[in-house]
A and B are shown apart, each in its own frame.
Chain A
Amino acid sequence: MPTPDPSEVVTMLNRLTADLPAAQEQASQVAAQIAEATFEGTAADGRISATVTGLGVVTKVRIGELARRGMDNLTLGEAVTEAVRAGEAVGRKALRDRMAELAIGGRALSEYAPFGRD
């Protein structure tokens, strides 16, 4: 591995330092937008859905009439749980994707941090 040119390292570090305040501001904005946004998850082939905010607050659970009549109480509860978890997962993915787009020092944040994990 070639030894990096010290002047290039200094330039890169200066660029990182200069970009940090703007990146912090952008990250705060993204987090606030995601917190207010709503995400939907479904279960039981779409017969049950849950709407969840980016903060994880469940604002709506929709249970189809066919699901209510056709499922037993325990299975229905499990399906509601699954729909809520799916909604939360969509919200987490949206936050990861938006954060990964942010750039510091001319490189996407995803190049510095493991945004792929759940």
Chain B
Amino acid sequence: MTNEFDALRDLLDREGRAANPSAFRRMAEAATALHDQLTRELSQTVGGADPTGYVQATVRLDGGVESVYISPHALRQFDAAGLGRACVSALAAARQASSETLAERLGERFGIRPGEYTNADLARIDRLAVY
């Protein structure tokens, strides 16, 4: 299956030895496109809730916390300590969902699966993306 990540790697393998300006430009464009798409993916959000469902958290796929929603019912139901624990629980559920969704998206949309690419592959593409 062809995807952006494989296409970039093929381009690097094919053109890497040629070292001509147009090849470098194509590699830079491919790396930038991949970087932009990854950035868009990482800004997507997923949610999680505490076991009662009264407290909900939303986090981005990059792990950053977007929001915490405490329902009016939670405010009445929990004391201060219980409310704190419910927040921790909702944040943990949202982060778990975020990790799972990220792994799924990287596999589906970029063809990146754990163990499939070496650190050297990733470092090489990362260096290109910086320039």
Contact = CB atoms under 8 A, between A and B. Distances in A.
Interface string B61-99: 001111111111011000111011101100110010000
Given A67-B80, A68-B80, A59 B65 contact: no
A60 B85 CA distance: 7
For chain B, give the interface size range: 20 to 34
Interface centre among A67, A72, A77, by most B CB within 10 Å? A77
Given A58-B88, A61-B84, 4 more contacts: A58-B91, A61-B91, A63-B83, A78-B68
Given A68-B75, A73-B71, A77-B70, A59 B83 contact: no
A80 B72 contact: no
A59 B92 CA distance: 9
A55 to B, nearest CB: 9
6 contacts: A58-B91, A58-B92, A74-B69, A77-B67, A81-B67, A81-B68
B77 to A, nearest CB: 11
A88 B68 CA distance: 15
B80 A80 contact: no
Count chain B CB atoms within 10 A of each CB in A57, A68, A80 and give the residue with the most: A80
B84 A60 contact: yes
Contact of A57 (B75, B80, B81, B95): B95
Given A60-B84, A61-B87, A68-B83, A80 B71 contact: no
Contact of B80 (A60, A65, A81): A65
